[in-house]
Amino acid sequence: MTATAATLEAVPEPTPARSVPSAAHHPAPAGYDRIVFTGFMGSGKSTVGALLADRLGWTFLDLDTEIERRCGLTVPQIFAQLGEAHFRRQETAALASVLGRSRIVIALGGGAPEELGNRLLLEQTPATAVVFLTAPFATLYDRCQVQAATPGATERPVLADRQKAEARFAARLKHYERIADSTLDTTALSPEATVEAVLRAFSQS
């Protein structure tokens, strides 16, 4: 794996593996040790990633959650107190670390592919498949609004300005497409149906 990442302070031990049910698992995709989900907020990366990990008997990790664990702050707090540049450095370091694991499903933050260091890590790490979950912006925005109304939902300041959020989506689209090995439109798919579509895509590759 070759990419530059900032040198950071000592961090706690990596997040332990998620406990996986003992039922028979779906065969792992041939040739892959890591599956990474990318896409804009509302695309279902974390939900689908966790379901897929359970199906495969792999570990699931949400990269934003891992960054929060390392920093001891929520993502909005990191942005507010330390700035976006600090968050992006932490993001690249966390991604480099988790890509060193095998049999893992990773959900990226929506902005991760904008960073060249992150794209290089994903492109240069062997046996790693990147799946881009997409849908029209209006669908993604509506999903986020529903999620935001849920008690305990993660704060998403970008949702306050729909026009800016749509511009951000448009700017990120080319990066999602560049790093993707597979793209799935989730507009009419439930999380469970999306998992089945991912498994079918790998079985046909």
Does the annotation place 161 within a ligand binding site?
A: no
Does the annotation place 156 within a ligand binding site?
A: yes
Does the annotation place 88 within a ligand binding site?
A: yes
User: In sequence order, what are the beta bridge partners of 183?
Assistant: 132
Positive or negative: CA dihedral 150, 153, 155, 159: negative
Q: Residue 131's closest CA among 17, 23, 16, 44?
A: 44
Structural tokens at position 72: 């001891």
Does the annotation place 42 within a ligand binding site?
A: yes
Distance CA 131, CA 52 (A): 12
What number of CA atoms fall less than 13 Å from residue 159's CA on the CB side? 19
| Burial of 133: CB neighbours in 10 Å, binned 0-12, 13-18, 19+ | buried
Does the annotation place 119 within a ligand binding site?
A: no
CA distance readout (Å), 64 to 41, 95, 110, 114, 187: 12, 10, 9, 15, 24
Does the annotation place 168 within a ligand binding site?
A: no
Q: How long a stretch of residues is the chain?
A: 205
Does the annotation place 47 within a ligand binding site?
A: yes
Q: Residues 181, 58, 37, CA angle at the centre, nearest 5°?
A: 30
Which residues does the annotation place in the binding site for ATP?
42-47, 156
Which residues does the annotation place in the binding site for substrate?
64, 88, 110, 172
Which residues does the annotation place in the binding site?
42-47, 64, 88, 110, 156, 172
Which residues does the annotation place in the binding site for Mg(2+)?
46
